[in-house]
Amino acid sequence: MLLRTLIIFALAIFLSCNAFAMQADSSVSITSQKDDYQFGYNAQTGNVEIKQKLSTTYASANYAVNYPITEVYNNHISINDVICKVDGHTPKGFKPVYTYYGEEDVFYSDAKVCYFPMYLPKKGSLGQVTFTETLDDPRYFTNIYFANSVATQKMEVNILIPRWMRVEIKELNFNAFDITKTTKYISDGDADLITYTINNIPAMEQEDNSPGPTYIYPHLLVLCKSASPVAGKQITYFGTLTDQYAWYRELVKNIGTDETIIAAKSKELTTGLTTDIDKIKAIYYYVQNNIRYIAFEDGMAGFKPEKADEVLRKKYGDCKGMANLTKELLVAAGFNARLCWLGTNHIAYDYQTPSMAVDNHMICALLYNGKTYYLDATETYIGFDEYAERIQGRQILMEDGDKYLLSRVPVTPASQNADIENDEFTINGNNLAGKVAHVWKGEAKENVLAGLNSIKHENEDKAMMQYLSNNNTDYAITNLQFGSVDSRDKDMTASYDLDFKNAVNTFSKTIYIDLDTKKDLGNDVIKLPERKYDYWFPYKTDVDVTTQLAIPAGYKAGNIPGKLDVVNPDYEFHISYTVLPGKIIYRKKLIINRTSLAKSKFAQWNLDIDKLNKTYTQNITLTPITE
């Protein structure tokens, strides 16, 4: 399942002290893996259970390999037994560790991990590990992934489904993989045995800015719809979206929030404010500013928000707790606010597929004056009616009493995230001297504010100078002033005096000048053929730079580079120079309109980046008027 897969990768990295970027571990491989899943009815509890037996054989490619074994479980999964054999023998002192899983700034409400190191002494040593488990609710049986953090030679997945159990299995991302499927009727038990056999599965590898696992790796999406295990007993899971919403609705209907506490806080936040929008912003920004987000958004369980007054008291919460607090404060102030479930763009599915694997996030919706505003308080520095890329266009399941509403988060243009710079320069010997002014909007603003707010106040100026100069020691900044680091309603601004050293060269009275101080995107060539997956930009961007250069007395414009205009639906690059009396205006506008760049477009992207870099290398020249 997805949570298990992702946490195993994270733990493997942590336990083996690898670098941040996840790469496949070449010290071991999986020679064989057999995962058996069997639905059964527990008459004592009255629940349908899934028995899981996960058997894996590891082979060492080196001597003295210490390989971490991890298995994630939670309140709905119990580990009944763990067996480990190395070269046919149980390792001396073998003792798995069972604990809750968490790390800095991340809290997994019920996720636990069983782990132990497996020492493979020789090259060719075989380690055999078997986990026997029980999952007590088919709703949580969502994904089966075929790929592992190391290469797998052969894998077999067996799913035994009694005919009293209604299950749909979707096969995803099977292209280009050697996968076969067979189905066999088992008369003893009146069940169907579905078997998948997979050969030569490459290791999962994490590339920067790549799509989520649901877009990439071969896996099964298991949709448990209903069961009738004994006569007269009918259990409904997620046969339809209505079923899924009904289950979610039960989780949020009777949370037990102390409404007196929430009403008092809502009144405190809105006292003295005269307009509805000001009241709404005061509540939304309060949650953004004061409630620390610490949860893990891909959690299998924990779909029930914590009481709003508890989140308020503790000053921290996950997305569900923050959304519920936002909603309850708004409702207490007289507004029509609703809870919403959604899957961020990390997930390939939407609500056409009823499953707990569809969503990983919760936000609050405000219905006001005929418009719906989506309030995601986990986006700490984004403004009201602005939307982070990860939720733009995503399908929303919104509560509406015992019914639900389906909608989508608006898709905003790149201009929401404008990064604007205006420069005025004069030539001072070999330097460019002048003033620079910046304005950041949307997610560009959020990026800057998140960085500034992550450091101590006394280090803000130094950090901002490093950011603005991109650590270029020739970029000397003085008189730095920047706007409030707490305001959501205002754009983030910065202004400073600049002495850009060695930007001017003179040969035989001709002055050569490089007017572009940043060369945005110049290093963003995609390495081919190393890159395996599509490239996803963090958010749409709109870089807009205007630089004015004063022409010194006695000089005129000489060589002026030509224009650059690259235009396609995904991105645009524009560079131009305009000569006016006494000055030259340099204009650069770089726009990323679509955040997903397909592999098929990498070659063209690299060609266009090459055009951009060639334009960057073309200096303007100034020559004496007398020549």
SS3 for 75-89 is: CCEEEEEEEEEECCE
Buried b (16+ CB within 10 A) or exposed e, 423-457: bbbebeeebbbbebebbbbbbbbbbbbebbeeeee
Structure tokens at 189: 């038990």
Q: Residue 115 maps to which CATH number? A: 2.60.40.3140
Task: Give residue 304's pLDDT band: very low, low, confident or very high (50, 70, 90).
Answer: confident
Q: In this predicted model, what pLDDT tens digit does every residue of 262-277 receive, in sequence order?
A: 999 999 999 999 999 9
Segment 257-261 mean pLDDT: 95
Can you give the pLDDT at residue 1? Answer: 35
Residues 438 and 362 in one domain: no
Structure tokens at 399: 């509560």
- Asked if 464 and 450 touch (Cβ cutoff 8 Å), the reply is no
Choosing from 384, 412, 440, the residue where a domain stops is 412
Choosing from 412, 434, 458, the residue where a domain stops is 412
Residues 275 and 150 in one domain: no
Q: Residue 433 maps to which CATH number? A: 2.60.120.1130
Residue whose pair of structure tokens reads 């939670």 in the numeric block: 74
Q: In this predicted model, what pLDDT tens digit does every residue of 116-171 receive, in sequence order?
A: 999 999 999 999 999 999 999 999 999 999 999 999 999 999 999 999 999 999 99
Can you give the pLDDT at residue 456? Answer: 66
Q: In this predicted model, what pLDDT tens digit does every residue of 3-12 receive, in sequence order?
A: 333 333 333 3
Is the preceding peptide bond at 162 cis, omega within 30 degrees of 0?
A: no
Residues 214 and 72 in one domain: yes
- Higher-confidence position of 303 and 307: 307
Residues 420 and 397 in one domain: no
Can you give the pLDDT at residue 254? Answer: 85
Reference 356, options 135, 132, 105; nearest CA is: 135
Can you give the pLDDT at residue 110? Answer: 64
Reference 435, options 549, 519, 520, 542; nearest CA is: 549
Segment 350-363 mean pLDDT: 95
The domain containing residue 171 runs over which residues?
2-236
Residue whose pair of structure tokens reads 């733990």 in the numeric block: 11
Task: Give residue 517's pLDDT band: very low, low, confident or very high (50, 70, 90).
Answer: confident
Task: Give residue 103's pLDDT band: very low, low, confident or very high (50, 70, 90).
Answer: low
Calpha distance 149→202 (Å, rounded): 9
Which burial class, exposed, middle or buried, applies to 503 when counting CB atoms under 10 A from its CB (0-12, 13-18, 19+)? Answer: buried
Can you give the pLDDT at residue 333? Answer: 98
Residues 422 and 495 in one domain: yes
Q: How many CA atoms lie within 13 A of 163 on its CB side?
A: 9
Out of 109-118, 222-231, 433-442, pick the least confident: 109-118
Alpha-carbon distances, residue 325 vs 285, 361, 599 (angstroms): 12, 15, 42
Q: Residue 402 maps to which CATH number? A: 3.10.620.30
The values of phi and psi at residue 287, to 5°, are -65, -45
Q: In this predicted model, what pLDDT tens digit does every residue of 7-56 receive, in sequence order?
A: 333 333 333 333 223 345 689 999 999 999 999 999 999 999 999 999 99
Q: In this predicted model, what pLDDT tens digit does every residue of 523-564 receive, in sequence order?
A: 999 999 999 999 999 999 999 999 999 999 999 999 999 999
Can you give the pLDDT at residue 373? Answer: 98
Alpha-carbon distances, residue 521 vs 397, 513, 573, 590 (angstroms): 37, 20, 10, 9
Residues 62 and 171 in one domain: yes
Calpha distance 96→69 (Å, rounded): 9
Please name the helix (run of DSSP H) or strand (run of DSSP E) that holds residue 284, with its range, or none.
Answer: helix 276-290
Residues 401 and 328 in one domain: yes
Residue whose pair of structure tokens reads 């603003």 in the numeric block: 445
Neighbours of 260 (CB within 10 A): 10
Choosing from 180, 207, 236, the residue where a domain stops is 236
Q: What does the mean pLDDT of the chain come to?
A: 91
Q: Which residues contact 280 (CB under 8 A, 6 or more apart)?
A: 330, 333, 335, 366, 368, 373, 384
Q: In this predicted model, what pLDDT tens digit does every residue of 324-356 receive, in sequence order?
A: 999 999 999 999 999 999 999 999 999 999 999
Residue whose pair of structure tokens reads 């997945």 in the numeric block: 157
Can you give the pLDDT at residue 102? Answer: 59
Can you give the pLDDT at residue 238? Answer: 98
DSSP code of residue 295: B
DSSP code of residue 345: T
- Asked if 379 and 368 touch (Cβ cutoff 8 Å), the reply is no
Reference 597, options 311, 209, 292; nearest CA is: 209
**Number of domain units in the chain:** 3
Q: In this predicted model, what pLDDT tens digit does every residue of 555-580 receive, in sequence order?
A: 999 999 999 999 999 999 999 999 99
Q: Please say whether the dihedral angle defined by the alpha carbons of residues 74, 77, 82 and 86, taken in this order, is positive or negative.
A: negative
Can you give the pLDDT at residue 301? Answer: 42
Task: Give residue 297's pLDDT band: very low, low, confident or very high (50, 70, 90).
Answer: very low
Q: How many CA atoms lie within 13 A of 552 on its CB side?
A: 16
Can you give the pLDDT at residue 295? Answer: 62
- Asked if 112 and 74 touch (Cβ cutoff 8 Å), the reply is yes
Q: In this predicted model, what pLDDT tens digit does every residue of 407-454 receive, in sequence order?
A: 999 999 999 999 999 999 999 999 999 999 999 999 999 998 888 877
Please state the three-class secondary structure of 478-500 as a single string. EEEEECCCCCCCCCEEEEEEEEE
pLDDT over threshold 60, residue 489: yes
Reference 364, options 402, 317, 407, 325; nearest CA is: 325
Calpha distance 216→174 (Å, rounded): 9
Residues 305 and 420 in one domain: no
Structure tokens at 392: 């733009």
Residues 397 and 344 in one domain: yes
Can you give the pLDDT at residue 129? Answer: 98
Residues 395 and 484 in one domain: no
Residues 567 and 531 in one domain: yes
Segment 477-495 mean pLDDT: 87
Please state the three-class secondary structure of 390-445 as a single string. HHCCCEEEEEECEEEEEEECCCCCHHHHEEEEEEEEEEECCEEEEEEEEEECHHHH
Residues 113 and 191 in one domain: yes
Out of 252-256, 392-396, 508-512, pick the least confident: 252-256
Percent of the chain surpassing pLDDT 70: 93
Which burial class, exposed, middle or buried, applies to 126 when counting CB atoms under 10 A from its CB (0-12, 13-18, 19+)? Answer: middle
pLDDT over threshold 80, residue 503: yes
pLDDT over threshold 60, residue 108: no
